[in-house]
């Protein structure tokens, strides 16, 4: 029995992985201010933290960005926390740490704010000035400034790049227990399968739902923003359709520690993401009538223990099924 051929990524996705998947160390942070200066106004950078009840973590993130990427190295020009309707001390803590804090209701008041992360990311474009906009979640712990400088780097040095996603290990850390690479549950169970089957060009993204990504304002201002948790999948798919795969990139920035929601909350997130995907499948006519026209491969990533690089593993997604048993002749004569 000949061995089944090992399935592989789409050629353009494999090529993309070789040319557009980097490490933060590829662009040492001390070299970036010169690249920024050379760009002039096109090199201005705004960092935006969407924050809903993040008083426990937002201050630490703001302080590190200010100290490392505004004071020690002039990389970031403005640091804005958009308060998404917090009822805790998020606004006070963020302001005390040195961020500009804007409440979502103060932005475009003629349009009442919808609940959700995407809503505040969208509104942030109205109250920031940078030509490069970098989104960072406000629930991160042990925040490493490379999560910002790593994804800004390509936008300061590669004119053709328009959007850069961070990639990182995502340990699942709950109640003192740590499951290495256990995080990104909606990514692994919903988003990655959806993207692989319907947008296989994007199968090379290690963290398609990651909350740390940077993009040129000239791209972001042309894209719709799903107002809830569909924003990451929506922006990634729409950036592919608008700018093309070669305008997208990802950078390995190490590890990301964040607060984890429970399974019921992630179920609501998954439903929103699935709906966001369905709307785009319909909009771009990718929703194939026949199931055998979806791309039948799933590519997952693990970090190689020796090279420490993310390594792709591609698996077939079988869609075969058997006919109703009553149509099988032997069934009628069975004893």
Ligand X SMILES: O=C(O)[C@@H](COP(=O)(O)O)O[C@H]1O[C@H](CO)[C@@H](O)[C@H](O)[C@H]1O
Ligand Y SMILES: O=c1ccn([C@@H]2O[C@H](COP(=O)(O)OP(=O)(O)O)[C@@H](O)[C@H]2O)c(=O)[nH]1
Give the residues lining the site for ligand Y (CB under 6 A).
50-52, 54, 84, 115-117, 120, 137-139, 211, 258-259, 261
232 scored as a contact of ligand X (CB under 6 A): yes
Which does residue 21 touch among ligand X, ligand Y, none (CB within 5 to 8 A, set by kind)? none
Q: Which is nearer to ligand Y, 46 or 84 (CB)?
A: 84
Rounded to a whole number of angstroms, the minimum distance from the CB of residue 258 to ligand X is: 6
Residues 6+ apart with CB under 8 A from 293: none
d(CA 112, CA 103): 12
Which does residue 184 touch among ligand Y, ligand X, none (CB within 5 to 8 A, set by kind)? ligand X
- The residue among 156, 120, 113, 114 whose CA lies nearest residue 136 is 120
SS3 169: strand
Torsion of CA 253, 309, 168, 163, to 10 degrees: 70
Rg (C-alpha) for the chain, rounded Å, is: 21
Which does residue 23 touch among ligand X, ligand Y, none (CB within 5 to 8 A, set by kind)? none
Q: Which is nearer to ligand Y, 98 or 296 (CB)?
A: 98
Binding mask 258-287 for ligand X (x = CB under 6 A): x-xx----x--x------------------
Q: Which is nearer to ligand Y, 155 or 233 (CB)?
A: 233
Edge to edge, the sheet with strand 248-255 lists 21-23, 248-255, 163-169, 213-216, 132-135, 45-51, 78-83, 100-103
Cα–Cα distances (Å) from 46 to 19, 34, 235, 262, in that order, read 26, 17, 18, 31
Which part of the chain contacts ligand X (CB under 6 A), choosing from 12-20, 195-203, 219-227, 255-263? 255-263
Which does residue 215 touch among ligand X, ligand Y, none (CB within 5 to 8 A, set by kind)? none
Rounded to a whole number of angstroms, the minimum distance from the CB of residue 305 to ligand X is: 22
Which part of the chain contacts ligand X (CB under 6 A), choosing from 96-104, 122-130, 184-192, 275-283? 184-192
Query: Among residue numbers 109 through 128, which ones bind ligand X (CB under 6 A)?
Result: 117
Residue nearest to ligand X (CB): 211
- The residue among 66, 85, 87, 91 whose CA lies nearest residue 76 is 66
H or E, element range at 157:
helix 146-157
Q: Which of 116, 150, 184, 234 binds ligand X (CB under 6 A)?
A: 184
Report whether 301 contacts 311 (CB < 8 A): yes
Q: Which is nearer to ligand Y, 119 or 201 (CB)?
A: 119
- Report the interface residues with ligand X, using CB under 6 A: 117, 137, 170, 172, 183-187, 209-211, 229, 232, 258, 260-261, 266, 269
């Amino acid at each position: 029995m000949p061995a089944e051929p090992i399935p592989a990524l789409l050629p353009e996705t494999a090529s993309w992985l070789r040319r557009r998947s980097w490490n933060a160390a590829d662009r040492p942070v001390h070299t970036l201010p010169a690249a920024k200066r050379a760009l002039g106004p096109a090199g201005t950078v705004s960092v935006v933290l969407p924050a809903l009840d993040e008083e426990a973590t937002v201050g630490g993130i703001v302080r590190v960005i200010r100290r490392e990427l505004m004071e020690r190295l002039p990389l970031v020009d403005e640091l804005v926390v958009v308060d998404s309707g917090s009822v805790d001390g998020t606004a006070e803590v963020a302001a005390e740490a040195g961020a500009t804090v804007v409440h979502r209701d103060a932005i475009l008041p003629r349009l009442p704010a919808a609940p959700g992360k995407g809503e505040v990311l969208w509104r942030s474009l109205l109250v920031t000035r940078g030509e490069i906009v970098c989104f960072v979640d406000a629930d991160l712990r042990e925040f490493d400034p490379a999560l910002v400088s790593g994804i800004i780097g390509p936008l300061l040095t590669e004119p053709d790049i328009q959007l850069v996603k961070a990639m990182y290990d995502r340990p699942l850390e709950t109640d003192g227990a740590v499951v290495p690479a256990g995080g990104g549950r909606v990514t692994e169970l919903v988003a990655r399968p959806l993207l692989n089957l319907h947008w296989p060009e994007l199968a090379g993204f290690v963290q398609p739902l990651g909350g740390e990504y940077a993009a040129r304002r000239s791209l972001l201002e042309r894209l719709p923003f799903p107002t809830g948790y569909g924003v990451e999948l929506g922006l990634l798919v729409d950036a592919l359709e608008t700018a093309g795969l070669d305008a997208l990139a990802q950078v390995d920035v190490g590890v990301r520690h964040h607060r984890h929601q429970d399974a019921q909350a992630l179920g609501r997130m998954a439903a929103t993401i699935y709906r966001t995907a369905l709307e785009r499948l319909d909009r771009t006519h990718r929703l194939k009538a026949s199931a055998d026209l979806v791309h039948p491969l799933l590519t997952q990533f693990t970090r190689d223990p020796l090279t420490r690089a993310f390594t792709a593993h591609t698996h077939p997604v079988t869609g075969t099924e058997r006919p109703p048993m009553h149509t099988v002749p032997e069934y009628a004569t069975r004893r």
